[in-house]
Structure 1
Amino acid sequence: MKNQPNYHYQEEIDKLRERFQFDFVSMAMVQPAEDRFVLTWQYASGNINERYKRIVLHSGKGIAGMVFKTGKPMLIQNVNADIKSRDLFNYPIIVAEQLKSLGAIPLWENSRVQGVLLVGYRTEKRLDQAAFEQFQEKLGMNFGAFHAREVTQS
């Protein structure tokens, strides 16, 4: 984002939502050091309210925080089966957008995770492992100024 200030992320996630028929697509971005490197959802498509704008996550917290920390994609095929209801407060985007099946991938820039792309449905078991992998392949290596890739460390 900082390298391409005129890049239209909102247009890109709108296109992704339409192309893959997701109910919801959002992008969380890392905020500057003076904000203690928190993550906030900056762009959304298919949102049912504006609550996503108020969600602030730290590394390791929530979906975006975990993907940011590990640098690995995350898939939740069925929220009701995979997350206990008493733990849902740890996943504010799921609650705010009533998501039931979702996946998130890290967005890389200069060998560091700079953002998280989340895609989801409001119905259970709509996104499975095969569909999530297919989405990542079709998304390709580029998303805006970012390169979506998993880094293996030796």
Structure 2
Amino acid sequence: MNDESNVDYQQEIDTLRNRFGFDFVSIALVQPAEDQFVLTWQYVSGNLNKRYKRIVLYSGKGVAGIVFKTGKPIFMEDVNMGLDSKDLFNYPIIIAEQLQSLGAVPLWKGNRVMGVLLVGFRHGNQLTEDIFEEFQSEIEPVFGSLDTKEMVDQ
């Protein structure tokens, strides 16, 4: 992740949303919390409501928590095929924003994941692997190297 003072994250995610036609784009950032680090959605574009503000994720929980813990992107072309409906409560951003097709990538600062960039559509099968790869190549100059770690398929 580039030096935060040099990047207007809100402007960058608005630009990404318009460039690719995503319905929703958001950045979750690590927030220190006593002895545990939590992730909260700090920047959003295309949101349906403000429920994202109440979502707090721990490492390994939810889309952001999994990407944060593994340091690997997540790609779900169709949420209904990738997740059991009984497990959706573990993914509050998917429910809050009614996402059906999504991808998330880690944002690095040095050798640590400091945030997660999520993009999504509200209809299934809209985010293809080709679009996701193109998106990742275009964000690297702004957000820094995403490393070349293999993707986590859900």
Q: Distance in 1 between matches of 2:87 and 2:51?
A: 19
When the two chains are superposed, the root-mean-square deviation of aligned CA atoms in Å is 1.9
Instruction: Say if 2:130 is the partner of 1:130.
Output: yes
TM-score norm. by structure 2 comes to 0.89
Q: Distance in 1 between matches of 2:78 and 2:100?
A: 6
Which 4+ stretches in 1 moved above 6 angstroms?
A: none
Aligned to 2:99: 99
Identity of aligned residues (%): 61
Supply the AA of the counterpart residue of 1:86: K
Aligned to 1:150: 148
Distance 1:69 1:103, change over 3 A: same
Distance 1:91 1:37, change over 3 A: same
What does 1:49-128 align with in structure 2 at a 5 Å threshold?
Answer: 49-128=49-128
Distance 1:83 1:24, change over 3 A: same
Supply the AA of the counterpart residue of 2:102: L
TM-aligned CA deviation for residue 105 of structure 1 = 0.2
State the secondary structure of the residue aligned to 2:116: strand
Q: Distance in 2 between matches of 1:32 and 1:2?
A: 19
Cα pair 2:24 2:45 within 8 Å, conserved: yes
Aligned length: 150
Q: Distance in 2 between matches of 1:34 and 1:8?
A: 28
Aligned to 1:38: 38
Cα pair 1:71 1:150 within 8 Å, conserved: no
TM-aligned CA deviation for residue 62 of structure 1 = 0.4
Cα pair 1:107 1:149 within 8 Å, conserved: no
TM-aligned CA deviation for residue 82 of structure 1 = 1.3
